[in-house]
Chains A and B, each alone.
Chain A
Amino acid sequence: MNEVTTHRHEMEEALVALAADAGPGEDCPPAEEIWEAVRGEGTASRRRQVVDHMATCPACAEAWRLAVELTPRAETGAVRDSSPPVRHSASWWPAAMAAALLLAAGAAFLLLRSAPPEPMLRGGGEEIRSLVEGPLPRAGGVLLQWTAGPEGTLYDVVVSGEDLEVVTTVEGLTEAELVLTEAELAALPAGSRLLWRVEAQLPDGTRRASPTFTTRLE
């Protein structure tokens, strides 16, 4: 049986891998249309056609990624630029995303059983790192913190328990921290671990995803 590939970041990587061998097709839209679609310009009907084409054209998906990289966040019309962070109840988050944390956190469980907890690091470069040292007390809420990006960076965070039930998801945070309330943690048994992951949107439009961090609760 193949590995779980329902994690968004991993699925995106899998789709990106296809672009290496992909050539432009006969019905690829002009570059200007891809640009306009990313920015929400042009007609909705035409934008949908571009997205539909991109679903099965790796080369155009790559062109889409380039357009996203070159478009400042505010110009994509993202609501989170001007709205307070959006907090979703656990039931909203697709089960696939919760299951996806299992794959990313699988190694973390093995590490934690044999080594003291510490922020998970990948290779060098601009990596998001956890600043949390557990175990954390619940009284007054639990504060999750991570390394901050440049001013203007926005963060999305997904938090789940060991059973992969989502505790909370938050979008559009302007600070590199998140407080989990006692009420949100009430269902988690003492000594359990939180699995949490951060995705940062930098001011230049680029995105960074962190590894899945694990933090033990008292």
Chain B
Amino acid sequence: MAADTHRFASPAPQQARDWSELRSSLEKAVNRVCPPWLREAREDLVQVALVRVMEVERRSEGKREFSSSYLMKVAYSALIDEIRRRRRRKETTLEDDAQPAALEADQPDPEHQARDRQAGRAIQDCLAALIRPRRLAVTLHLRGHGVPEAAKILGYGAKRTENLTYRGLKDLRDCLSARGFAP
């Protein structure tokens, strides 16, 4: 009882706001990135992440104050662990709830998806064939990172990163052309 009283003696209203903001950020991110087969599990994913964060906070018994970035990191890790767990389950079981979600109205048709996957495999194979520094730069470029961001992540200079991106994209284009993905 005393421990519970002590726990709730900390500023509960501030903590409540944090959960609300954290939940909102997680929901937005999951909504944007969640693959179709996990759409119906979005709420569960967010909930699992929040439970882990709250557990971390509970274990500290209110003695430690966590930064919002730390809480987000914990939530993210929980989210990824849960997605990975569900992927493994999807691969190894035939349970109904592990099946891909039904095609939604706003999803690409199966033929479009198949073309995308074919192109994706070609891009992935061509990326694997690049020399490593160029592969790293192009991978980040394809993930939407600009040169300064990529340079910081890779620990390279900006000029070097720029050159690696330029040459790597050329190599990628040549490889895709050789595989029939060309104008």
- Which residues of A are in contact with B by a Cβ distance under 8 Å? 1-6, 8, 10-24, 28, 30-32, 34-35, 37-38, 40, 44-45, 47-48, 51-52, 54-56, 58-59, 61-70, 75-80, 86, 92, 94-97, 99, 102-103, 123, 156, 171, 199, 204, 206-207
Of the A-B pairs whose beta carbons lie under 8 Å apart in the complex, a sample of 23, sorted by A's number, is A1-B183, A2-B181, A8-B141, A15-B124, A17-B116, A17-B117, A19-B35, A31-B80, A44-B154, A48-B155, A56-B128, A63-B83, A66-B30, A69-B28, A69-B32, A70-B29, A77-B148, A80-B146, A92-B162, A94-B165, A97-B169, A123-B106, A206-B32
Whether a CB of chain A sits under 8 angstroms from the CB of B180 is yes
B81 at the interface (CB under 8 A from A): yes
Cβ contact within 8 Å between A96 and B173? yes
Is there contact, CB below 8 Å, between B170 and A95? yes
**Across the interface, which residues of B come within 8 angstroms of A68, CB to CB?**
143-144
Q: Which residues of B contact A10 (CB under 8 A)?
A: 119
Q: Is the CB of A92 within 8 A of B166?
A: yes
CB nearest neighbor in A for B100: A20
Q: How long is the Cα–Cα vector from A3 to B29 in the complex, in angstroms?
A: 30
B95 shortest CB reach to chain A, Å? 16
Identify the stretch in B12-20, B55-63, B84-92 within 8 Å (CB) of chain A at 4 or more residues: B84-92
Flag if B162 contacts A70 (CB, 8 Å). Answer: no
Q: Which of B86-145 contact A (CB under 8 A)?
A: 87-88, 90-91, 100, 106, 113, 116-124, 127-128, 132, 135-136, 139-145
- B interface residues, how many (CB within 8 angstroms): 69
B10 interface residue (CB < 8 Å to A): no
Give bound CA distance, A177 to B120, whole Å.
34
Interface residues of B in 43-89 (CB under 8 A from A): 69, 72-73, 75-77, 79-81, 83-84, 87-88
B positions within 8 Å CB-CB of A: 25-26, 28-30, 32-33, 35-37, 69, 72-73, 75-77, 79-81, 83-84, 87-88, 90-91, 100, 106, 113, 116-124, 127-128, 132, 135-136, 139-146, 148-149, 152-155, 158, 162, 165-166, 169-170, 172-173, 176, 180-183
Q: In whole angstroms, what is the CA distance A150 to B132 when docked?
A: 38
B142 touching A12, Cβ below 8 Å: yes
A59 to B85, CA, bound (A): 12
Residue of A nearest to B35 (CB): A20
The 8 A-B residue pairs with the shortest CB-CB distance in the complex, in nearest-first order: A44-B155, A79-B148, A17-B116, A31-B80, A14-B119, A69-B29, A14-B120, A31-B77
A24 contacts B155, CB within 8 Å? Answer: no
Contact assessment for A66 and B123 in the assembled complex, using a CB-CB cutoff below 8 Å: no
- Which residue in chain B gives the minimum CB-CB distance to A15? B120
